[in-house]
Each structure stands twice: as structure tokens, then as C-alpha cells.
Amino acid sequence: MRRLPLTCFTILASGSFLLADKVALPPPVTSLVEILSVVEEFALATGLEIPRPLSTNSVTRYVPPRGNPPVAGVRIDDRFGFSLDVQHRTVIGFMDHKHAVSQLWRPEDMRPLLKPPKLNAEQAVELAREYLRRLGFEERDFLVHSPSAKPWYWQPVGQDHKEQLPFYSVEWPWKVDPARPYFRMEIDGLRERLNYFATMYGSPAEASAGPEGQPKRERRSQPDPSPELGK
């Protein structure tokens, strides 16, 4: 797959493993219809509630490919944002603007979320790892440390302590620069779903790190569309 959002970006795939320096990249996606096919693969792999089959009628914002490497952005139903690395045909960023905690800042948004999560931190990590696998990434094929999860907190105005929210940020530190996550996800501990995804895969920072910064292998070619994830 490829990259994502208007507010984020991402990647995906599954199939046989091939050495990155041995693989001829497929032609880059150039049209909105091709971009939507990549988005739909990502949605199937992660169980997103997008219209299917996905058509241009559902597109509420589109940013044509630009930059180096070229990245495109698309918003579906004014809710799901995607950024795509068109050269690698991969979603590199995603955000659910309805549920991602970074989009919820008003007290009337936050107070209904003060509930015990259905997942603890360890379970959030396992779910994130399963999402990563569904998107065509195997941890062993990338220069990353094991992931960890941190809960989100909210401190209401006038209150002297923070309230834990049922959301987890799961990050895989990059071995070249552990302060930077190579993969990052937000796991919704109430809905048991993916709210956000971003990756450095194919980014200028990764390329500038030289051979030691590159993944040992390419990601797999197609995402896994199994519908049972997160249930």
C-alpha cells in the first residue's frame, strides 16, 4: 500500500518478502482513482467504516501528489484522512478525525470518554502489532525497537490532577534515532480500533540515514483484508 492523511500519513501490504534492493518498484499511482484503490486496501486491512466500493463521490478533499518523494492527501466523508507515498504505493499516514484524541479537546468531547478502557497497555500493544502485520509490515524486517504503549491524559480546567483517557499511543522507536518513532499508532481502548497511523517508511529522513537506516527488506506487497481484527 502507501501513505496517508491530510493530517497524517501511512503504509501497508502483504505477500512474499523480497529484498528491498532487489525489487523494481511498480509504477507510481498518479490518478485519484488509483489512490482510492490504495486507500481501500488500507481500510479493508484495518476495518475502517468507509463506503465500499470506494468512489470519488466520497472524497471531500484531495491534495494531488507533490514534494520529493511525492505524497498525496485525501479525505473520505470529511472524516478519514490519508497520506500516500505515491512512488511506493503506500499509505504512510492515517487519521480518524471523529475519534482521534488529538481532535477532541472540548470538555463536552472529553468527559464522555472518562470510562475504563476495554484494553490495558499490553493489549493495546498486541492489537497495534496485529494492525502492523495486517498492513504488510513485519517488525523483524525493519530497524525498530519493540513497541510500547502510553496512555493519554486530560486535565480539566480547575482540576489539580489529570484523568486517564482510554486511548494509547503505541510507538516503535527507530534504531538509527530512538527518539523518533518509525511507526506510530493510536489505539482506541473503548472501540478497540485504530484511530491514527504514521510511518517513516520511504521518508527523506530514512533515506538520508544511509544504508544503516534502511529496512532490511521491503514491506509485503498486499495488506491482509481479514475482517476480524479488533473484535
Tens digits of residue pLDDT in 52-103: 899 999 999 999 999 988 999 999 999 999 999 998 899 999 999 999 998 8
Tens of pLDDT, residues 42-63 = 999 999 999 989 999 999 999 9
| CA torsion angle 100 10 220 19 (round to 10) | -140
Task: Determine the pLDDT at residue 222.
Answer: 57
Could you give the residue ranges of the DSSP H alpha helices within the chain? 32-46, 107-110, 121-134, 204-208
Task: Determine the pLDDT at residue 204.
Answer: 74
Please say if the pLDDT value at position 226 is more than 90.
Answer: no
Please say if the pLDDT value at position 20 is more than 60.
Answer: no
Confidence of residue 14 (pLDDT cuts 50, 70, 90): very low
Question: If you average pLDDT over residues 30-53, what whole number do you get?
Answer: 94
Task: Determine the pLDDT at residue 211.
Answer: 75
Tell me the β-bridge partners of 85.
71, 90
Residue 15 or residue 128, greater confidence:
128
Tens of pLDDT, residues 148-204 = 999 999 888 888 889 999 999 999 999 999 999 999 999 999 999 999 999 999 787
Nearest to 65 by CA among 96, 42, 38, 40: 38
Confidence of residue 221 (pLDDT cuts 50, 70, 90): low
Task: Determine the pLDDT at residue 78.
Answer: 96
Residue 116 or residue 11, greater confidence:
116
Task: Determine the pLDDT at residue 223.
Answer: 61
| Sign (positive or negative) of CA dihedral 31, 33, 34, 39 | positive
Confidence of residue 225 (pLDDT cuts 50, 70, 90): low
Cβ(8)–Cβ(196) below 8 Å:
yes
What pTM value is reported for the model?
A: 0.82
Please say if the pLDDT value at position 229 is more than 80.
Answer: no
